Structure 1
Amino acid sequence: MIKTLTFAVLHFSVAFSITYLLTGSVLVGGAVALIEPSINTVVFYFHDKFWKKWEAKHPSVAI
């Protein structure tokens, strides 16, 4: 769980830093740092479900 939490902090930090550097806005950087990782987490959930189904149907194809 600590690894997950530290990765989340890293992800939020990168999202904020990049957006702040591009826009110069703390508000926009903060909004993107909250929204992007949250959406990315949901997308990853469905991506992972897809791959589990894919692997079950194609066991000989290791990706």
Structure 2
Amino acid sequence: MAAFARNNLPTLKKTGSYYVMHILVAAAVAYAVTGNLLMSLTLSLLEPTVQAFAFFFHEKAWQRLSLRKAARAAAA
């Protein structure tokens, strides 16, 4: 697990900062829509948590794509 974290540290940091920003935005929007603090906090924690995991794997897929393009360019 430590090797995984070390190998993916930049992406994990980016994912973490995105997560915090997303929670703040989601809480503000949810509160504006519902007017209910508890509901806005619940929504703002649930949806960004799922999004953070999706973002991490999305970012890794784009990195792989970039590496493949670079390898093809170097081979040509």
Query: What is the TM-score normalised by the length of structure 1?
Result: 0.69
Aligned positions of 1:22-41 closer than 5 A: 22-41=33-52
Query: What CA RMSD, in Å, does the superposition of the two structures yield over aligned residues?
Result: 2.1
Unaligned runs of 5+ in 1: none
Matching residue's letter, 1:48: E
Does 1 or 2 have the higher relative contact order (CA < 8 Å, sep 6+)? Answer: 2
Query: What is the TM-score normalised by the length of structure 2?
Result: 0.60
Which entry has the higher C-alpha Rg, 1 or 2? 2
Structure 2: distance between partners of 1:45 and 1:13: 19
Aligned residues: 56
Name the % identity.
Answer: 27
